[in-house]
Structure 1
Amino acid sequence: MNIIINIKKVLFLIILFNLTSCNKTNWQENFKEKSKDPFGTYIVFNEADALFNNNEVLYLKENIYDYLFNHVKDRRFGNYICIKHSADKLNDDGLDYLLDYIKEGNNAFLSLNHFNTYFKNKLGFTTENLDQNISTPAELKQLDGTLYLENNTFRNQSFVFDRNIRENYFKTYNKKTTIVLGTIAVNGIQKPNFLKIYYGNGVIFVHTNPIVFTNYNMLNGNENYAENLFSYLPDGDALWDPQIKSSKFSNKKEDKQDSIFTFFLKHPSLTWFLAVSFFGLILFLTFNAKRKQREIPIIKPLQNSTKEFVFTIANLYLKEGDHKNLIDKKIAYFLEKIREKFLISTNNLNTQFIEQLASKSNNELSSTKYLIHTIIALNKKTDCTQEDLLVLNKMIENFFKK
């Protein structure tokens, strides 16, 4: 197969690189598409075109929630691919929105060590990970395992992996909508680790051992296993999600990393450094202000013209870059329009308000939900960009076109 030939070429180059490099090998699992470490996914991503029969494979540079709303207008995108330890950036809003698209005939393939509770409840399955407390490279190295595929073509074939194979499998699932496509040997018993779940007119493939797609295993004689897994996906384009961006406007709470200031405040020495630096900055601004004074510009009186007055005020906001002020006025105008046109109270922008607004305006619930969540997110911001203003304006225009 072409994929095997290409992988062998990559293997030769990597071996050559290792012979000429003195850098210590990083055995941490990172699943990064641009990482050439043993447990990055550089090889499988760069061979994705061949794996998907030369269909287009798009590497997402924004959250799937935002990408689907902003770019997928015909409700069709093909196959969604996510290979990670856990899909942290795919929050509840993003999952609901993605499932809406899958229900209309698209497909998804997720290979994760950890599926969040909301995801499992939504698709009706539970998991069991007997090695969930093992995390260091030395401990993971001892975890070998044997995987199988249920297809008649591969039924008598086993795929043996020599390290980092967690005994992670699906404990329960809905047998009415689910087909077991693959298993893992756990204490001599084959447990399901690869499922095909029918969802509306689409299909979701879930897999519990993403380590099989890493560079180490793609170069260790088991590349056929990864290729066979992808062979279950229908022919079509693919959206490859590297999980590098959180949704810009999602209103759901996510686990976020501490800010840089929170990190400084956790350490007394860094806190003092921050305080002294701030005090020095105040002193500098105070003494510098006494020495310099900007020239006061001559402002000509405005003509008594309403049109020219409005034009001047608008230009002033744009010139000063006061996008937050313009956004606040845009939101106020939009909510006033809602109260006047649809006779709906805008005091509480909750789920009931969104459903009522979508119904009265003949807009889709998903797009109405996205608009209101965007408004809530922008209201919370203290500073907004020109891109925020343009996105909001476009969304409001699309809303009133219905």
Structure 2
Amino acid sequence: MNKTFKIYAVIFIIIMVILALFEVNKKEVTDWRKNFDVNQKSPFGLFVFNKEVKDLFKNKLSKIDVAPYDYYTEKSRKPHNILVIESEIDPESWKKILNEVSKGSDAMIIATRLPKNVSDSIGFYGSKISYEDQNVLKLTDKKYQNDFIKLDKFPSGRGFSYIKPNVQVLGKTVEENNEDQANFIKAPFGKGNVYVHCEPLFLTNYYLLKSGNVRYAQSVFSYLEDKETLWFVESNTRESSFLLRFILSNPPLKYAWWVFLGGMVLFIFFNIKRKQRIVPIIEPLKNTSADFVKSIGNLYLQEGDFHDMMAKKAQYFLNKVRIDLLIDTQNLDDEFAKKLQLKTGKPAEMITEAIDLIKRAQDPYASVMKEDLARINKLLDDILK
């Protein structure tokens, strides 16, 4: 047995003893993060809901693990129910969901926040937040007056700040020191309806396992018609990290992983040698940025998607305004126009026309011509000069 092997063995034994001591003295810590993961048994996971959801929907529910854009691009379905629970949905997928609703489907979205263009389309603007430690979720319909749920752990306190007249309030948040605020609404959209609930905590393990709370969830879902329901579960888009995430979520595998990494580091440390290799001649990289930009530009022109090009130009301009001019771009109102005019020194008419074009670019349903794209490109470039 050589000296190097003995050193490896001693270091390995020391590491194992230290890990064993950590394992013996480890205290179980409750994970209170709001992960809304269907596989998590932590308090704010959706493991229990995932197990009971098919009975809740009378076995007419299917879980879809692809983006709505991909799903509806490949398939055409008769009117159905769409369920989204606190998932990251891309803008194009939102368009597909609203398109299905306009044709007669119903969508129930249970999420703390929605993209502005989606909320504007549905019929509410912004949200207000309360910071009370606890509140009660109730439904406004008298037949559900006994179905409520008390949130005593980390409620989001979110409610709808402004609702259009044609939107019906189905539920509210009741707090001791604040006025009641709407948290569950029904908005007609085309031939269908969109239901939005801004407090997804009532579906988590912590609350569903409490006696009587299931009735509130049943009452919320009873607003959907008895037909096929598609639940778009957030898919795992980073497959390369799935194995590592699985290893780190299991303590025995996690310790084995760290021991393996530690052994690799020690191996490299004890076996590293100074070796001079022949330095290869590396040709300098060609600057293909201009060719790439030209190719992308030609592609957009061939496709004729002027609306998308306007939206990207507007997004780039607003990002430059936030970073370079330090102006908040969340609301493109008169105050924003005044600040932009003062910092750029451009005429008010130019600023007003530019803001109108930006709003058209952000509107997914606006009609855009090639001349509009040319005009917004010139205006935004002139403003930032």
Shorter-chain TM-score range: 0.5 to 0.7
Tell me how far apart the structure 2 counterparts of residues 157 and 184 of structure 1 sit (CA, whole Å). 13
- Choose which of 350, 356, 362 in structure 1 pairs with 2:306: 350
Residue 111 (structure 2) aligns with = 112
**1:122 lines up with 2:121 in the alignment:** yes
Residue 24 (structure 1) aligns with = 29
Tell me how far apart the structure 2 counterparts of residues 180 and 204 of structure 1 sit (CA, whole Å). 12
Tell me how far apart the structure 1 counterparts of residues 141 and 180 of structure 2 sit (CA, whole Å). 14
Residues 143-196 of structure 1, C-alpha deviation per residue, up to 9 Å, x if partnerless? 2111111122123554322212222111211222x1111111143422111001
Tell me how far apart the structure 1 counterparts of residues 232 and 277 of structure 2 sit (CA, whole Å). 47
Residue 83 (structure 1) aligns with = 85
**1:63 lines up with 2:67 in the alignment:** yes
Structure number with the bigger relative contact order (C-alpha 8 A, sep ≥ 6) is: 1
- Choose which of 225, 228, 231 in structure 2 pairs with 1:237: 228
Pairing of 1:96-175 with structure 2 (within 5 A): 96-131=95-130, 143-155=133-145, 158-175=148-165
Q: CA deviation at 1:226?
A: 1.2
Structure 1 contact 145–161 (Cα < 8 Å) conserved: yes
Amino acid at match of 1:211: L
SS of 1:189's partner is coil
Give the superposed CA RMSD: 3.8
Residue 369 (structure 2) aligns with = none
Identify if the C-alpha distance between structure 1 residues 188 and 68 changes in structure 2 by more than 3 Å, giving closer, same or farther: same
Residue 201 (structure 2) aligns with = 211
**1:36 lines up with 2:41 in the alignment:** yes
Tell me how far apart the structure 1 counterparts of residues 143 and 303 of structure 2 sit (CA, whole Å). 61
TM-score by length of 1: 0.52
Amino acid at match of 1:37: S
Amino acid at match of 1:346: Q
Pairing of 1:1-400 with structure 2 (within 5 A): 23-58=28-63, 60-70=64-74, 72-74=75-77, 76=78, 78-84=80-86, 87=87, 89-131=88-130, 143-155=133-145, 158-176=148-166, 178-186=167-175, 187-221=177-211, 222-244=213-235, 346=302, 349-351=305-307
Amino acid at match of 1:119: V
Tell me how far apart the structure 2 counterparts of residues 201 and 110 of structure 1 sit (CA, whole Å). 17
Residue 316 (structure 1) aligns with = none
Structure 2 contact 147–216 (Cα < 8 Å) conserved: no
Runs of 4+ in 1 over 3 A off after TM superposition: 283-287
Q: CA deviation at 1:62?
A: 1.4
Q: Which runs of 5+ in 2 are unaligned?
A: 1-25, 238-272, 281-294, 310-363, 365-385
Tell me how far apart the structure 1 counterparts of residues 45 and 278 of structure 2 sit (CA, whole Å). 48
Q: Which runs of 5+ in 1 are unaligned?
A: 1-20, 135-141, 247-279, 288-330, 336-344, 354-365, 367-402
Tell me how far apart the structure 2 counterparts of residues 233 and 156 of structure 1 sit (CA, whole Å). 20
Q: CA deviation at 1:235?
A: 1.0
Residue 265 (structure 2) aligns with = none
Tell me how far apart the structure 2 counterparts of residues 190 and 352 of structure 1 sit (CA, whole Å). 41
Residues 10-31 of structure 1, C-alpha deviation per residue, up to 9 Å, x if partnerless? xxxxxxxxxxx97432111100
Structure 1 contact 29–40 (Cα < 8 Å) conserved: yes
Tell me how far apart the structure 2 counterparts of residues 37 and 77 of structure 1 sit (CA, whole Å). 35
Identity of aligned residues (%): 24
Amino acid at match of 1:152: K
Identify if the C-alpha distance between structure 1 residues 347 and 158 changes in structure 2 by more than 3 Å, giving closer, same or farther: closer
Q: CA deviation at 1:44?
A: 0.9
Q: CA deviation at 1:352?
A: 9.2
SS of 2:171's partner is strand
Identify if the C-alpha distance between structure 1 residues 350 and 208 changes in structure 2 by more than 3 Å, giving closer, same or farther: same
Structure 1 contact 29–39 (Cα < 8 Å) conserved: yes
How many residue pairs were aligned?
237
Structure 1 contact 77–239 (Cα < 8 Å) conserved: no
Amino acid at match of 2:234: Q
Residue 8 (structure 1) aligns with = none
Tell me how far apart the structure 2 counterparts of residues 226 and 174 of structure 1 sit (CA, whole Å). 25
Tell me how far apart the structure 1 counterparts of residues 80 and 29 of structure 2 sit (CA, whole Å). 40
Tell me how far apart the structure 1 counterparts of residues 303 and 107 of structure 2 sit (CA, whole Å). 38
Amino acid at match of 2:58: N
Q: CA deviation at 1:125?
A: 0.3
SS of 2:136's partner is strand
Identify if the C-alpha distance between structure 1 residues 130 and 286 changes in structure 2 by more than 3 Å, giving closer, same or farther: same
